[in-house]
Amino acid sequence: MISDQVTKGADRAPHRSLFYAAGFTKEEIDKPLIGVVCAQSDIIPGHTHLAKLAEAVKAGIYAAGGTPVVVPSIGVCDGIVMGHRGMHYSLASRELIADSVETLAAAHCFDGLVLIPNCDKIVPGMVMAAMRLNIPAIVCSGGPMLAGRVNGKKTSLSQMFEAVGAYKAGIIDEEGLYKCELGSCPTCGSCSGMFTANSMNCLCEALGIALPGNGTIPAPYSERVQFAKHTGMAVMDLVRKGVKPRDIVTMDAIRNAIAVDMALGCSTNSSLHLPAIAHEAGLKLDLRLFNEISEKTPNVCHLAPAGEHYMEELNEAGGVPAVMKELADIGLLDTTLPTVTGKTVGENIANAVNRDPEVIRTIDNAYSKTGGLAFLFGNIAPNGCVVKRSAVAPEMRVHSCRARVFDGEDDAVKAIYGGEIVPGDIVVIRYEGPKGGPGMREMLVPTSALAGMKLDKDVALITDGRFSGASRGASIGHVSPEAASGGPIGLLRDGDVIDIDMDNYTIHARVSDEEFAERRKTQVMPETWVKGGWLDRYRRLVSSADEGAVLK
């Protein structure tokens, strides 16, 4: 066992004395040491209950013959840091999380890992570390929040942000805004739509590195505690059999995950995190693979913000296994692949049942014949950009628009709230990429402002930043190369006409190569606001969005 390096032999007597000082017994340190990485904190609603789940995981590990060792992880609440400088730290924190999990596990010689994340960058950060370490590991998310209720309708955080736009436009008053505040987020758990956290927790199931139910069992349910105990038991089986993350997360498993991504209509952020996870597993994920899989994968779920259904309803309908069964029945999944259950994908989903064909539509009644995400390529984005196509109004999928250009999110938001944006415009927000931001801020405030002001069917938005999974409308992000790296989005000017064709995966500005070359001669890059700290290191080392914004 790996832990023999710190627990066995006369030379390790000092090490054992420190284990005894921490309260461990001889019997415990003679068993496999399993790191339980818990992201508990009081600032993230998705994480406030994770200590209870860690105790359940510990019980499962003890029951299966191991010794659990709880260690911490940091996290950032994307909702709380939205719309101000705090958001610069969100995506960047993914790398800190991966580094810290690697440090704690490698330095203390853990034999296996149970990862307990729940929100946006914490899930992929922990999974990236598992790929890097390649010791037996399994994910146990904290589960989604239950949907809120405002004026008798189910709701979530995305409607809360849109309510601000409605308030600014005079559509609702202060009392109406306060009602939304009180009713939108009623429980602990990751916010209740198919946003980034829930997307990644579902995709962990699809990859095979979490037990079925990881993405959908609601956080407040006792079933979530039971799930955590079973996860603790399962990691011991992985340790005994020597099954490692890279045995499970292969390119074929990633193809399965992308198919599930397309069927569910996941967050655009999955296209940052899956390439980053692949990178840590020694694999190269080309964004064009998303389009290839999208072309043949029906979109069968419209969860908030794309539709009216929430994670609890997906769970009741049969969860991710039911979605995977729909796909497997038409040959869109490799069902022979191994998973952390000890069974194949096919064995895991053999008895799955779609209990609500409205929440999980059948293939014959899919929302569309193609997947939820689309990657567009053209002279604005030679290396690609992404849109959550399933959340775009049909009339906006193919259209032309006039550029309104802003060097940063803050000025764009002022213009939107100030009534300066009109139907037919496309709001261009640049210098917000991984390097230029730095940290690739989410643009939920401007997209929600447009939606709240009833402009989401008339105005598009494009950025080298990214979007929250809660964004909807013609919101196109991750433009690569980004403006700060010399990408052509930095050469756009007010009034440029941009042609968008989401069905054929293209985006093109009616600007000639010669005109772009002339503009480049006079281009002035904005000076970064970052003058020190670790964000400055991040800015200098981070790669582009099409590579997953990994550090190089």
Give residue 454's pLDDT: 86
Per-residue pLDDT reduced to its tens digit, 7-19:
999 999 999 999 9
Q: Is 468 a catalytic residue?
A: yes
The whole-number pLDDT of residue 470 equals 67
Q: In this predicted model, what pLDDT tens digit does every residue of 307-342 receive, in sequence order?
A: 999 999 999 999 999 999 999 999 999 999 999 999
Distance between CA atoms of residues 239 and 82, nearest Å: 40
- Arithmetic mean of pLDDT, 39-58: 97
Q: What is the 3-state secondary structure (H, E, C) of 504-526?
A: CCEEEECCCHHHHHHHHHCCCCC
Whether the pLDDT of residue 121 is over 90: the answer is: yes
* pLDDT given at position 323: 98
Q: Binning pLDDT at 50, 70 and 90, where does residue 155 land? A: very high
Q: What is the DSSP letter of 309?
A: B
305 pLDDT band, cuts 50/70/90, is confident
Rounded CA-CA distance 403/48 in Å is 42
Q: What residues form DSSP beta bridges with 210? A: 139
pLDDT confidence bin for 351, thresholds 50/70/90: very high
Question: Pairing relation of β-strands 374-376 and 384-387?
Answer: antiparallel
245's tokens:
């993350």
This prediction has a pTM of 0.94
Q: Is the pLDDT of residue 183 over 80?
A: yes
Rounded to whole angstroms, how far apart are CA atoms 518 and 514?
A: 6
Q: Mean of the per-residue pLDDT values for the chain?
A: 95
Q: Which of 330-339, 461-470, 481-490 has the lowest mean pLDDT?
A: 461-470
Catalytic residue, candidates 468, 480, 543, 544? 468
- Long-range CB contacts (< 8 A, 24+ apart) of 320-323? 320/202, 320/205, 320/206, 320/212, 320/214, 320/215, 320/216, 320/260, 320/264, 321/205, 321/212, 321/348, 321/349, 321/352, 322/349, 322/352, 322/353, 322/354, 322/355, 322/360, 323/260, 323/263, 323/264, 323/360
Measuring CA to CA, which residue among 291, 120, 292, 92 is closest to residue 197? Answer: 120
d(CA 143, CA 219): 4
Q: What is the mean predicted confidence (pLDDT) over 38-56? A: 97
Outline where DSSP puts E strands in 59-128. Answer: 67-72, 112-116
- The confidence score (pLDDT) of residue 166 equals 87
Is the predicted pLDDT of residue 545 greater than 90, yes or no? yes
Strand partners, 190: 144
pLDDT over 80 at 275, yes or no: yes
At 187-243, the pLDDT tens digits run 999 999 999 999 999 999 999 999 999 999 999 999 999 999 999 999 999 999 999
DSSP string, 349-363: HTT---S-TTTS--G
Residue 471 has pLDDT above 80, yes or no: no
